[in-house]
Amino acid sequence: MLSKDIGLNAKSISRLSNRGLSIKTLKDQISNEVELTFEIWKAQGLNIVKSHGYFFFDTAFISLDEAEFCIVDIETNGSKIEKHQIIELSAIKVKNKKIIDRFDTLVKTETINPHITKITGISAIDTKDAPQLKEVLIKFKLFLGDAIFVAHDVKFDYSFISKSLQKIGLEPLLNRSLCSLGLAERSIVSYRYALSYLNDTFHFNLNATHHRAMSDVLTTYGLFLLCLENLPEEIKTVEELIKFSKEAPRLKRPKFDPLIQEDEKED
C-alpha cells in the first residue's frame, strides 16, 4: 500500500524503517526533487529524517512514550469504496498512554442499507444534520496530522479513509500505521481476537456498543494499553513496535474457549 503511494519499492521502505536509505537510492526511485518529495510526504503524514548520512522514517527514533498514536474506527454503509461511504468516524489521540484529544462525528448520507442499520444502529435519518463527507475528512486529516494510525484490522479503516480522501480530490494517507489485532496476537493470549470477544474477556470498555465508532475506539484503546504492558522490554521505538506487530511469533491460543467454559460452570 505504502510502496504504491510513495513510489519506493518494498525493500527501500523496509530500509527507511531500520537501516536507513541512501540518497542515491531515493533519487533512483522518485521522480521529483528529494526535498520537495519530503515536503509532499510530510503533508500526507509521513516524516523523513536524516541520520549519519542516511534517511529514515522519523518513527525509527521516536520512543513509545513520545509518540502520538491516533486510534481510529469508521462505520460505513458498505464495504466497496466505489459506491459506499463513511457514515461515522471517531478517533482519539494518545500520548504516553493518555488520551489527549478526541474526534467523533456522524457523516451525512442519503441511504443506509437496513442490514447496516441493524448492525450499527445508525439510520440515514440519524445523519440528516451531520456534516458532509468532505468536511469531515478535511477536519479528520488535520486532527490526524502525522500521528501513527492505529485500528483493529487496520488495513480496512486506513484504506477506506485514504481512498475517500482521494475521491474528494486530496492526496492519500502516508501515516505509519499499526494494527492492534496483529499486536494483540503477539502480546496477549486469547482464544479469539475479534474486538468484541477481547472486550468480553478483558473488560476494556464496560459500556461498549459494538459497531459504533467511538465505542470501538475506546475498546481498542484499552486493548492497546494492555498490549503495551506485555511488550518485550527491548521494544523502545515506534518502528520496533510496528515490526513486532507484523513479524513476532503469534502466541499460542487456548484449545477451548474459556468464556464458554465459564458460562458452563455458572450453569
Domain ranges of the chain: 2-60, 68-247
| pLDDT value for 261 | 64
Cell numbers 469504496 label which residue? 81
| pLDDT value for 31 | 83
**CA-to-CA dists, residue 238 to 18, 69, 218, 220, 245, angstroms:** 11, 10, 21, 18, 11
| pLDDT value for 265 | 55
Angle, CA 56 vertex, CA 50 and CA 60 arms, to 5°: 115
| pLDDT value for 5 | 80
Taking 50 as the pLDDT cut, the residues of the chain under it are 267
| pLDDT value for 264 | 53
| pLDDT value for 267 | 47
Tell me: domain 68-247, CATH 2.60.34.10, correct?
A: no
